[in-house]
Amino acid sequence: MKTMEVSEVAALAPHVQPGNQEPVILLQNGQTVAAILPADEQSVESMLLSLNPRFQAILERSQRRFESEGGVSAADVRARLGLPAKQSDG
């Protein structure tokens, strides 16, 4: 990931101020080359994970395993961890 200060790109500064929720699309010769999106620390972390090939491979492997072997219910996880059963809403 590359980072740069807004002050290094003077033309962008007015468009990427805190509180601005509008994406900025960057063009080169009329073609879209990048998008600048509003972000906080949590959304940056989520974005970086979603673009990480190793993380994506883990998710795909987990999905395949879930599809072939099934999963563990929340009640079973609670029992394995010695936690009390969740009370029903009823």
Q: Report the C-alpha gap between 46 and 56 in whole angstroms.
A: 12
Alpha-carbon gap, residue 26 to 15, rounded angstroms: 12
At residue 68, the 3 state secondary structure works out as helix
> From CA 57, how far away is CA 7, in angstroms rounded?
37
How much is the pTM? 0.54
Per-residue pLDDT reduced to its tens digit, 24-74: 888 888 888 888 888 888 888 998 999 999 999 999 999 999 999 999 888
How far is 12 from 5, CA to CA, in rounded Å?
Answer: 10
